[in-house]
Amino acid sequence: MNRFSITLALAACSAFCCAATEPSVTPIPMRVEMSAEDAGFTIDSLTRVYIDAPDRDAALLEEQLAAAGMGHALRVCDSVDAPRINFRLKPVVDGISSHEGYRLSVSGDRIDAEALSPAGLYYALQTILDLKESGGTIPAMSITDQPRLPYRGMMLDVSRHFRDKEFVKKQMDAMARLKLNRLHLHLTDAAGWRIEIKKYPKLTELAAWRPQKTWKEWTDNGARYCNEGDTAACGGYFTQDDIRELLDYAAKRHITIIPEIEMPSHSEEVLAAYPELSCSHGEHGSSDFCVGNEATFEFVEGVLDEVMELFPSQVIHIGGDEASKQAWKTCELCQKRMADEGLMDVDELQSYMIHRVEKYLNAHGRDLLGWDEIMEGGLAPNAAVMSWRGTEGGLRAARDGHRVIMTPGGYCYLDSYQDAPWSQPEAFGGYLPIEKVYSFDPVPDSLPEDAKPLIIGLQGNLWCEYIPTAEHAEYMLWPRMIAIAEAAWSPQQRRDWDGFKGRAMAVSDRMRKAGYTPFDMRNEVGNRKEALVEADHLARGCKVTYLLPDSGLPAWHNGYPASKEATLTDGKRGGWNYNDMLWQGYMNTGTRERLDVVIDLGRVCDLSSISADFMQICIPDVWMPEQVTISVSDDNKKFKTLADIHHTVTTDTGVSFKNFGWKGSARGRYIRYRAMAKQGFLFTDEIVVE
Ligand code: ACM
Ligand code: ZN
């Protein structure tokens, strides 16, 4: 965290938004309204700080000022006519409607900070720290500022690799400086249960420990657990005292911690400790609770009782994502439940569980929050949705009157590579540079006006399968979380990538000095060079006929159509990841055939080169072809083979790209390009003909 010694100097002026006179400071997130003139205010050892607020609020702000290095300047009240900073709680503040908003006016001899609540004063303090950090005299100015979204979140997965409470506190320090106010802790998942539950001690005696340090080694070795205290035991959990300590730390920074307890799936660790709660009653590796068994509900309610006792959060996250639902189809108890409750399918069985748990939470005065799968089979009435599989689920939920937090994978999943994969530590896959995070608008114009307020939040998620250390976790979080902070706080019309980039670098530098390990934007390699310019070549714009549909197989995988028939000759090349709608994906089960197309050049041409790039990322099952054949024809009937390329596919980790092509001298009008693979998906972006 950034601390500063107190020789502050602030300056003053009146204010409304005027871009031409905006001060050259490095505020993040960008303020709603700010204007400045050239007079300035210098904070020095004579600067006094006054707080006009009820005792409890004043005491908290005093603590926060002291933590920010401004403690010695505190004065409750005296009459000395010295330069002063006034913090004042007021029932009404001009231009402010959010309890988190504030007004700040800086003049030659004082700074006035006004807000409706202690959170607003706290954010005013963060802005004063920003102004102070930009160095020297702070221009006279006035700021009217409040958040675009009330929920500005970060998710930390502490299951896959446990992180201790000091790490969590350090991230909360950084969050609070950026006015982020929700920390979603993914506390339970197959790789480890991370919260002490007194009623179910085996969750932390067994399910929080494994013989391998990293998630990768653990999954490679059969995903087994061990006992707390075993010499090889790795992992850990938060005791209930730890949780109380974290909650106290969070509250002082106006952060709400939202606990996530996964159900009905991602629960292998629970079912290892309490196998009677799975459909198979003991088989290692079951992921889903048995929804037919009343004992499951007794367990879930018992856990939630302790969770609600600890966490004051109004919403409790119950996961709900990625249930396999397979065992439910044959389990006697699940089948009986479906018959008794008139449930048509296993989606409705999942929905039954979510509705029932929602009722339990509601009866205890809390609201349910879950991943967007909780919409399948009917959404529980008061539930809020976290939209992760794109934005469509979230937009639909908002149109239906539900509160939504946007966290779509393509913009908010910080486990993706943030730069060229070859330059980065191994990651889950994907390619999510900070510019793309910053480009996301969580409340699209297309949404009906009455649904817009239901998009209450934006969140960045850090899943930690491939993130074994604290330093690596910080590297993936920052600075991309800075982009989330600004996108969640600042109005869309105040967003500006070029300005943000400089400010984000300044914040990263400040964090680095304070002992964080952010990714260095100055050394960013950027997107794949082929993706930066369109490819002009002989086949550009030519018609492509897919031969594989003739055998009843889909031409491309539904999830990765890119620009459909136009993709392979549109001149547009893909970037570092297959999900950028420029790479087309092919996945035919049970056969090696993936891609078989004919390009019609429109006339017989001289040919010297025909080639296509493929990518390999083993983690999400994306592979190189093992065979490519390239042939040519004048009449689209008789083809002459130009190349028959065989490739030995290896299981290298990381991401690789390889060109499969022919070079030589030939003539023809029709080009046939055929690619086969041993396993998984194949992706290509363009067939380049010269
Ligand atoms: C998720 O990424 N499974 C929510
Ligand atoms: Zn069952």
How many Å lie between the centroid of ligand 1 and the Cα of residue 447?
Answer: 24
User: CA 87 to CA 73: how far, in whole Å?
Assistant: 13
In single-letter form, the type of residue at position 114 comes to: E
Contact 210, 516 (CB under 8 A): no
pLDDT at 24 over 70: no
Ligand 1 atom showing the smallest separation from residue 322 Cα: 3
Report the residue among 157, 189, 321 best suited for mutation to probe ligand 1: largest number of ligand atoms under 8 A from its CB: 321
HEC profile for 226-264?
Answer: CCCCCCCCEECCECHHHHHHHHHHHHHCCCEEEEEEEEC
- The yes-or-no verdict on residue 9 having pLDDT over 50 is no
CA distances, 384 to each of 196, 358, 365, 398, 455 (Å): 26, 10, 15, 9, 10
Which atom of ligand 1 is least distant from the CA of 319? Answer: 4
Proximal ligand: closest to the CA of 409: 1
Distance 328 CA to ligand 2 centre (A): 5
Q: Mutate which of 322, 374, 414, 459 to test ligand 1's pocket (most atoms within 8 Å of Cβ)?
A: 322
Say how far apart CA 569 and CA 423 lie, in whole Å.
Answer: 29
pLDDT at 590: 78
Query: CA 629 to CA 672: how far, in whole Å?
Result: 8
Say what the pLDDT of residue 291 is: 98
pLDDT of residue 4: 22
289 pocket-lining for ligand 1 (C-beta < 6 Å): no
Q: Which ligand is nearest the CA of 262, by number?
A: 1
pLDDT number for residue 296: 98
Q: Which atom of ligand 1 is nearest to the CA of 388?
A: 4
Q: Which of 211-215, 401-405, 448-452, 558-562 has the lowest mean pLDDT?
A: 558-562
How many other CB atoms are there within 10 angstroms of residue 506's CB atom?
18
Kindly report the protein residue whose alpha carbon is nearest to atom 1 of ligand 1: 321
User: What does each C-alpha distance from 418 to 437, 496, 575, 655 come to in angstroms?
Assistant: 10, 20, 12, 13
Which tops the pLDDT comparison, 15 or 227? 227
Nearest bound ligand to CA 459? 1
461 CA to centre of ligand 1 in angstroms:
9
Distance CA 682, CA 616 (A): 8
**Ligand 2 centre and the CA of 292: distance in Å?**
5
End-to-end alpha carbon distance in the chain: 56
Q: Which ligand has an atom closest to residue 393 CA?
A: 1
Instruction: Check residues 411 and 46 and name the one with the higher pLDDT.
Output: 411
Using DSSP's 3-state secondary structure scheme, residue 56 falls into helix
Q: State if residue 87 touches ligand 1 by the CB under 6 angstroms criterion.
A: no
Sign of the Cα pseudo-torsion (306, 310, 314, 320, in order): negative
| Weakest mean pLDDT among 25-29, 146-150, 210-214, 307-311 | 25-29
The residue whose C-alpha atom lies closest to atom 2 belonging to ligand 1 is 388
Residue 349 and residue 334 in contact, taking contact as beta carbons nearer than 8 Å: yes
CA 620–ligand 1 middle distance (angstroms): 14
388 within ligand 1 shell (Cβ under 6 A): yes
321 lines ligand 1 (CB under 6 A): yes
Which ligand is located closest to the Cα atom of residue 465? 1
**Which of 265, 371, 372, 428 for mutating ligand 1's site (highest number of atoms within 8 Å of CB)?**
371
388 CA → ligand 1 middle, Å: 7
371 lines ligand 1 (CB under 6 A): yes
Specify the pLDDT at position 73.
63
393, 372 contact by CB (below 8 A): yes
Of residues 408, 431, 507, 423, the one with CA closest to residue 2: 507
Mean pLDDT of 584-612: 94
Residue 305: CB atoms within 10 Å: 15
User: What span, in angstroms and rounded, lies between the C-alpha atoms of 115 and 92?
Assistant: 8
> What φ, ψ does residue 565 adopt, rounded to 5°?
-60, -25
pTM equals: 0.91
In ligand 1, which atom is closest to the CA atom of 409? 2
Q: Tokens in use for 184? A: 């979603």
**Can you tell me which atom of ligand 1 is nearest the CA of 463?**
2
Neighbours of 415 (CB within 10 A): 22
- Active-site residue set: 189, 266, 322
* Cα of 235 from ligand 1 centre, angstroms: 22
User: Which atom in ligand 1 lies closest to the alpha carbon of residue 461?
Assistant: 2
Q: How far is the CA of 667 from the centre of ligand 1 (A)?
A: 51
Q: Please report the pLDDT score of residue 20 as a whole number.
A: 32
Q: Can you tell me the mean pLDDT for 280-291? A: 91
Ligand nearest to the CA of 331: 2
- Ligand 1 atom nearest the C-alpha of 413 is 2
* Amino acid identity, position 458: L
CA dihedral 305, 310, 315, 319 (to 10 degrees): -70
Distance 230 CA to ligand 1 centre (A): 31
Where is average pLDDT lowest: 47-56, 249-258, 407-416, 464-473? 47-56
Give the whole-angstrom CA distance, residue 561 versus residue 581: 7
- Report the pLDDT value the prediction gives residue 25, as an integer from 0 to 100: 54
Does the beta carbon of 322 sit less than 6 angstroms from any atom of ligand 1?
yes
Say whether pLDDT at 663 is over 80: yes
Q: Whose CA is nearest to atom 3 of ligand 1?
A: 321
Report whether 466 contacts 420 (CB < 8 A).
Answer: no
Lowest mean pLDDT among 41-45, 54-58, 223-227, 602-606: 41-45
Which atom of ligand 1 sits closest to the CA of residue 386? 4
Give the mean pLDDT of the chain.
91
Residue 12 has pLDDT above 60, yes or no: no
The 10s digit of each residue's pLDDT in 78-133 is: 555 678 889 999 999 999 999 999 999 998 888 999 999 999 999 999 999 898 88
Which tens digits make up the pLDDT trace of 321-369?
Answer: 999 999 999 999 999 999 999 999 999 999 999 999 999 999 999 999 9
Distance 200 CA to ligand 2 centre (A): 21
- 435 in ligand 1 pocket by Cβ < 6 Å? no
The whole-number average pLDDT for the span 248-273 is 97
**Percent of the chain scored above 70 by pLDDT?**
92
**Average pLDDT rounded to a whole number, residues 509-519:** 97
